[in-house]
Structure 1
Amino acid sequence: MWLVFLKELKELVRDKKTLFFMIAVPILVMPAFAGIAIYFAQNAATEAQNKVLNYALIGGQYAPDIDAKLMQIDGFKRVDINQQTDYKKLIQENTVDFVLEIPANYSDDVLQSGQALLKLHLNDSGLNRVFYRVNEIVDEQLQKLRASAFAKLNLSEEQQIAVLNPIILEKVNTADSRENWGEKIGGLIPYFIFILCLQGAMFPAADLGAGEKERGTLETLLISPIERYKLVLGKFLTIAFAGLTSALITVTSMALWGLILSQGLAIEFVVTFMSSIGAVDFILMFLMLIPVVAIFASILLSLSIYAKSYKEAQSYMGTLMMLLFIPIFLAMAPGVELKGIWAWVPLTNVALAIKELIKGTMDYFQLIAIFGSTALIAAGLLAFCVNWFNKEKVLFR
């Protein structure tokens, strides 16, 4: 078994493509993708904020202050339209970005005119800041109208505050910063970890089964004096080693990149959050991934043994990648917690446990049951893989 493992491990180390997915992807590629996504998102937001907006104003004579303010600001360009024009069509044709409609009852004396309903017609389906930018101007006029009304009513500053907010509901959050942010992002971290672990094990798995069939080396291996179950265990350990390496690198890079980016961007809450997760929690996350990787390795090796070719094996494994989304998304669903039946759902319970470890709310005794149940599933799948490898009709189909 160990000779097979060492032999397969040497071939694995020589395969640059496999090493790329095991090491480079967790350390460099995934953080690079995240950085690129953040970069383009920030550029899109900046572009939306600085874009010159073509607008039409209906009823501008009723609100000369708003009309004048829109004319003064560089980011707005007035377009004259007919009042009976179809506003939706104008916006769809990009003639204007928005149409602001001011009612006839708009007045500087709100005590007499009452509440005025301004309508902002816009296409709000894409990434734009039209409503935000127009609302800034309207809000400025709102403050002036409030001040004017309060002056006429002769209300003190305390009375003005009480009129605007007669009742305040104060939220006192009993969760600390770590638990708060862990709840928000803790569900996403298992998603990336599981995907990278599976991806790190996929390439060696496809090569150790279907790849050997294509090269014609499987027959040579089978006539060797080594028992077949030891051949399976040797190949299994190689695939599991690749998956665990990806898991270890992923967890380590997650911690390091979180601290590096938080220091570079001077994001204080990220520094606080990452530093609050202890080394023991990171170690437990890694240990929880061991039976998960064993499950992946068993399934991948079984698929590789069954496949007729390397390409067919990759197609089966691509389907497995899609099926993996189901238990991960269940862990991110609202209301799903590490309680009751969810503590026994394979993979979902591990994802929930990792989330609880990140939040700092983990009941550590539950880890024994979760680790044990996941290890039993992995052992059962490994036994199936050994039985699968012993079937001649599977090996030479």
Structure 2
Amino acid sequence: MWLVFQKEIKELLRDRKTLFFMIALPILLFPLIIGGAIYVGSKVVEGAKTEERSFAIIGGEYSSEFTQKLNDVEQFKLVELPADIDTKEEITAYVKADNVDFVIEIPENYSRDVLANGKIVLTLYRNQAGLAVVESVLNKIVDEFSEEYQNVAFENLTLNEEQQKSLLEPIKIEQVNVADERETQGENIGGLIPYFIFMLCLQGAMLPASDLGAGEKERGTLETLLITPIERNKIVLGKFFTIAFAGVTSALVTVLSIAIWTTVLSQGAANEVVMKFMSSIGAIDFILVFLMLVPVVAIFAAVLLTLSIYARSFKEAQGYMTPLVFVVIIPVIFAMLPGVELKGIWAWVPLTNVALAIKELIKGTMDYVQLFAIFGSTAIIAGGLLAFCIHWFKQEKVLFR
């Protein structure tokens, strides 16, 4: 078994593509991809805020101050609406044809004296699929006028400040967040980290798995290996440990990469909130995250090797393995659902329990007793899958399809 393991490891280390996915991807590309996505996203949002938008006003004569307020917005450009457009259907068709970005209709009862003239209902015609930035700007303008008109109404009613507050908000819920800052931040981002870790571990094990089964079939070296005096179960174990080694290495590098970037961010390369959150995650938490990934990688290795043994070619093996990405995503999604916590039956659900545990470790609320359920269930499943892989490898009809 160890001879097979040593042989496969030597071949693995010669494969630059595999080494790239095991080491370079977690250390370099992982933070670059996330940082790049955040940078591009911020630029897109900034561009959407500064892009010029054309608009038309119906009933502008009822409120010159509202019309002027819209004109004062730098990215808004007022255009004249054709005189023959006056019905709701015609306005809708005009906006839908992209002749104008949006249309505002001001009602006849528009007045500063809302007590006398009633509630003001502005009608906004826009494409609901976009222009969210426009809506936010309009809401800001409407809020300003609403506050002003409320004050006018309160003055007419001769209400003091306390009476005004009571009228505006008769009932209020005052929240007291008993969670500390780490727990709050961990709840927000803790569910995403297992997704990236699982994907990188799976990717790190996928390439060597494809090569150790289907790849050997294509090269014709599998037959040579089978006629050696090594027992087949030892051949499978040697290949299994090689794939697991690649996956564990990816897991280790991933966790170390997160730890390194955590240290960098906590020393001043991020804002104060991120610094406090990152510096609160201890070394023990990172060690436990890595240890929990070991049986997960064993599950990946057993499944990947089984598929690779069954496949006729390297390309076919890749086709079988690609859907596993979606299979892995589902347990992580379960871990992000509200009400799913690391207790009861969820502590025994494979992959979901690990994702939940990683989330709890990041939050700092881990119940360490649940580690027995996590390691126990994951190890049992990994052992069962490995036993099936050995049985699968002993079938001649599978090896020589």
Normalising by structure 2, report the TM-score. Answer: 0.94
Unaligned runs of 5+ in 2: none
Task: Report % sequence identity.
Answer: 63
Are 1:189 and 2:193 matched, yes or no?
yes
Partner of 1:40: 40
Partner of 2:30: 30
* Pair 1:263–1:167, CA change in 2 (3 A): farther
C-alpha distance in 2, partners of 1:261/1:146? 46
Q: 1:200-219 counterparts in 2 under 5 A?
A: 200-219=204-223
3-state secondary structure, aligned to 1:173: coil
Q: Shift of residue 149 of structure 1?
A: 2.6
CA contact (8 A) 1:65 1:141 kept: no
Partner of 2:74: 74
CA contact (8 A) 2:204 2:246 kept: yes
Partner of 1:152: 156
Structure 1 residues 100-156: Cα deviation after superposition (integer angstroms, max 9, x where no partner): 111111112222112211122212323630111112222222232223233333444
3-state secondary structure, aligned to 2:115: helix
Are 1:247 and 2:247 matched, yes or no?
no
C-alpha distance in 2, partners of 1:73/1:179? 40
Structure 1 residues 174-197: Cα deviation after superposition (integer angstroms, max 9, x where no partner): 111122222222111111111111
Partner of 2:62: 62
C-alpha distance in 2, partners of 1:308/1:68? 72
Partner of 1:19: 19
Q: Shift of residue 38 of structure 1?
A: 1.3
CA contact (8 A) 1:49 1:128 kept: no
C-alpha distance in 1, partners of 2:131/2:4? 55
3-state secondary structure, aligned to 2:318: helix
Partner of 2:129: 125
Structure 1 residues 258-278: Cα deviation after superposition (integer angstroms, max 9, x where no partner): 453566663222111121121
* Pair 1:313–1:127, CA change in 2 (3 A): farther
Q: Shift of residue 37 of structure 1?
A: 1.7
Partner of 1:228: 232
Q: 1:84 aligns with which of 83, 86, 95?
A: 86
Q: Shift of residue 14 of structure 1?
A: 0.8
CA contact (8 A) 2:265 2:278 kept: no
Q: Shift of residue 332 of structure 1?
A: 1.8
* 1:135 partner letter: N
Shifted more, 310-319 versus 385-394: the winner is 385-394
Q: 2:202 aligns with which of 198, 203, 224?
A: 198
Structure 1 residues 282-326: Cα deviation after superposition (integer angstroms, max 9, x where no partner): 111110111110011011111111111111111111122222222
* 1:350 partner letter: V
* 1:53 partner letter: R
Equivalent residues, number: 397
CA contact (8 A) 2:265 2:275 kept: no
CA contact (8 A) 1:53 1:76 kept: yes
* 1:84 partner letter: D
* 2:234 partner letter: K
Partner of 1:269: 273
Q: Shift of residue 198 of structure 1?
A: 0.7
Shifted more, 194-203 versus 80-89: the winner is 80-89
Q: 1:213-362 counterparts in 2 under 5 A?
A: 213-261=217-265, 266-362=270-366
C-alpha distance in 2, partners of 1:233/1:8? 11
CA contact (8 A) 1:202 1:317 kept: yes
* 2:20 partner letter: F
CA contact (8 A) 1:58 1:101 kept: yes
Shifted more, 85-94 versus 185-194: the winner is 85-94
Structure 1 residues 17-46: Cα deviation after superposition (integer angstroms, max 9, x where no partner): 101111111112222222222122111211
3-state secondary structure, aligned to 2:132: coil
Unaligned runs of 5+ in 1: none
3-state secondary structure, aligned to 2:322: helix
CA contact (8 A) 2:349 2:377 kept: no
Q: Shift of residue 50 of structure 1?
A: 1.0
- Pairwise CA RMSD of aligned residues? 1.8
Shifted more, 341-350 versus 141-150: the winner is 141-150
* 1:131 partner letter: E
Structure 1 residues 339-360: Cα deviation after superposition (integer angstroms, max 9, x where no partner): 2222221211111111111122
